[in-house]
Amino acid sequence: MLLSTHTANLEQLVDRIAERGFCIIDHFLDDTTTSALAHEAKSLKQTAAMNEAGIGREQLAINKSIRGDSICWLNEAGATEAQQSYLRQMEDLRLTLNRHLYLGLFGLESHLAIYPTGTFYKRHLDCFATPGSNKPQRKISCIVYLNHEWQDEDGGKLRLYLNETDEFNQEKSIDVSPLAGRAVVFLSDTFYHEVLPATKERLSLTGWFFTR
């Protein structure tokens, strides 16, 4: 289930997506890049460049009983060196997914996110199918974590629901620690997930590939 780019390539990641619809991969970004992105996120928060994240598709509403993070959308035209490294890796991933799975992915949107201590994001789906809609739809979600020296007891795990049940008809899920450089990639319209509270500030960078 867990891959490392030191021993596995993007083709193996795509195989996992084809088999199960999700994949967890360590060292998706190197330590230098994740450290730089973490520093940028904290600086953006200090300069009030991050905004409280909203919920909803058209008119966003702030509801901290559902999610408590602050975000800043990436602008490719003004991307920093670290952001460019991330974007290059994501472009490699997009091309590999299209080549092997014929997904027709054509665009990417990404944002940095900071979850203050104790905040969370309740169970949700990144994309609801809209029959007959001509709008681009999120197809692949990719969450990359930026938390160095993160310990298991710090919490803040991603809980990914697997659309399966056990012998007692209990819903199966996995909890993923937000370790620096780790990426979780999954089908946006298939996997419900949530962010559990952490005992310290939690940083991430999430991107979504679009399909028509």
Tell me the pLDDT tens digit for each residue of 176-187.
999 999 999 999
pLDDT at residue 2, rounded to an integer: 64
Q: How far apart are CA 89 and CA 78, in angstroms?
A: 17
Per-chain mean pLDDT for the chain: 91
Contacts for 45-50: CB closer than 8 Å, 24+ residues apart: 45/70, 45/114, 50/112, 50/114
Burial degree of 38 (CB within 10 A; 0-12, 13-18, 19+) = buried
CATH architecture entry for 2-51+68-211: Sandwich (2.60)
Q: How far apart are CA 102 and CA 49, in angstroms?
A: 37
The answer to whether the CB of 120 falls within 8 A of the CB of 194 is yes
Amino acid at position 122, single letter: K
Residue 7 confidence class, pLDDT cut points 50, 70, 90? very low
Q: How far apart are CA 208 and CA 125, in angstroms?
A: 12
Every domain of the chain and the residues it spans: 2-51+68-211
pLDDT at residue 58, rounded to an integer: 56
Q: Give 53-78 pLDDT, tens digit per residue.
A: 988 665 578 888 999 999 999 999 99
The answer to whether the CB of 15 falls within 8 A of the CB of 181 is no
pLDDT at residue 6, rounded to an integer: 46
pTM of the entire structure?
Answer: 0.92
pLDDT at residue 118, rounded to an integer: 98
